[in-house]
Amino acid sequence: MLFRIKSFFNLKLSIVILLSIGIKTNAQDNRSFQVFQFPANKIPTIDGNSEDWKIVPNNYVVGMDQLWDDSGKQPNADPKNLDVSVKVGWVKGLNRLYFLYEAYDDYWDFSLPGLHNDTFELIVDADQSGGPFIDRFHPNPNLTNTMDAYFSYHGVHAQNYHIFTPAVEKDWTMVWGSQPWIKNLPYANASYHYDFKPGQSGKLTLEFWITPFDYAGNDPSRAVESILTENKNIGLCWAIIDYDDVHKTENNGFWNLSKEHKMYGNASYSLPFKLMPLENQFKKDIEAKWSHKIVNMNKKEVAFFDESEGEIDSWNWDFGDGTTDTTQNPIHRYKEAGKYIVILKIKGSKGTSQLSKVWDVAVK
């Protein structure tokens, strides 16, 4: 009887341990990353040249130390076999994500016309809506693997780009879904630089930008771009599919940023990337900025919004009609129809600044 009790206890303990291991293996990790904000006058040119990216600090780099080969073929990263670094950037006011992909590979495989190609597979879920987004993962089994699911569901709320590294005699990427239009201008652009041939070793530089979408179906007229704003988290993930032999159908490694292999079709397994403010070296100590909105055209009522940067102690608005206001975000009612020159002057411990806009404010 005592042996049976001990055996039963050991069995329960083993189950608990196995479950714990399973939970730890499948649980999403708590890593987070940063997206560098390019100043408006330093937007990178998409030409395959990494020079524009030298202003990006090293803490924005995502390297091989953050990846793991979940195919089990490569237990450890070996820079003599494959060495990859990725930087991600954005520009305030543009709904674009910029990428610099730099990679050394001891065998570049890109001679075939299909998917057998060294690949940077990128997952984008900019509104962090999460959940599955490829047809065979559809929650309704009646729609699984049907063309209905492909056209109405696949890639709609999150997008999957199979980016060929490099792309020779084929499009730069395959968009896995019914929205191939998102890989073309005005929604995306890409450029490469490399000097190797298929089967050779060498370094590749890939520079590209894409437009993320909250909704992207087959019909671009119905698409909804993701709005990128400062300090917002977006969902990103990627994998490097490394082929080392043109005659083998299987890859030589699937280097994944996520701890979940199925991140390629389930946005819940992406990781948070924060859209960072400008680095201090690119900021002015104090800078006046403002916008406005017509609240009521019949009453000639306009709301003004202070968007200035820096430490500010006082605001002075000149509405262009002989009146002023010292509140930060005033609402002003004009007496006469017209086009006005509005000026905002700000003052702080580090100086003064002002911004005038000529005839932006007009009421009738």
State pLDDT tens for residues 14-73: 433 333 333 334 445 889 999 999 999 999 999 999 999 999 999 999 999 999 999 999
Average model confidence (pLDDT) for the chain? 92
What SS3 state is found at 147? helix
Query: Is 12 or 221 the better-scoring residue by pLDDT?
Result: 221
Q: What is the model's pLDDT at position 141?
A: 87
- Same domain for 252 and 318, yes or no, is no
**Domain boundary at 275, 301, 335, which?**
275
CA distances from 313 to 138, 278, 292 (A): 54, 22, 21
- Same domain for 308 and 270, yes or no, is no
**Domain boundary at 221, 251, 275, which?**
275
Distance of alpha carbon 272 from alpha carbon 66, whole angstroms: 14
Percent of the chain with pLDDT over 70: 92
Q: What is the model's pLDDT at position 159?
A: 98
State pLDDT tens for residues 115-152: 999 999 999 999 999 999 999 999 998 888 889 999 99
- Same domain for 341 and 244, yes or no, is no
Residue 10 lies in a domain: no
Q: What is the model's pLDDT at position 196?
A: 98
Q: How many domains does the chain have?
A: 2
| Mean pLDDT, residues 182-210 taken together | 98
Name the nearest CA neighbour of 81 among 251, 281, 221, 252.
252
State pLDDT tens for residues 259-280: 999 999 999 999 999 999 999 9
- Same domain for 104 and 133, yes or no, is yes
* CATH number of the domain enclosing 298: 2.60.40.10
* CATH number of the domain enclosing 169: 2.60.40.1190
State pLDDT tens for residues 281-313: 999 999 999 999 999 999 999 999 999 999 999
| CA 204 to mean position of chain CA atoms | 21
Tell me 19's DSSP state: H
Residue 12 lies in a domain: no
Per-residue H/E/C for 327-351? CCCCEEECCCCEEEEEEEEEEECCE
β-strand 159-164 against 173-175: which pairing, if any? Answer: antiparallel
- Same domain for 136 and 224, yes or no, is yes
Residue 23 lies in a domain: no
| CA 288 to mean position of chain CA atoms | 29
Confidence of residue 325 (pLDDT cuts 50, 70, 90): very high
| Mean pLDDT, residues 162-175 taken together | 98
Percent of the chain with pLDDT over 90: 88
Residue 306 lies in a domain: yes
- Same domain for 83 and 232, yes or no, is yes
Q: What is the model's pLDDT at position 146?
A: 87
**Domain boundary at 222, 245, 275, which?**
275
| C-beta pairs of 181-190 under 8 Å, 24+ apart in sequence | 181/220, 182/210, 182/211, 182/213, 182/216, 182/220, 183/210, 187/211, 189/46, 190/46, 190/163
Which residue segment(s) compose the domain that 266 sits in? 29-275
Task: Output the six-digit token pair for 139.
Answer: 């929650």
- Same domain for 61 and 157, yes or no, is yes
How many of the other CB atoms lie within 10 Å of CB of 185?
6
pTM over 0.85: yes
Residue 234 lies in a domain: yes
- Same domain for 317 and 249, yes or no, is no
Residues 6+ apart with CB under 8 A from 242: 81, 82, 105, 118, 251, 252, 253, 254, 255
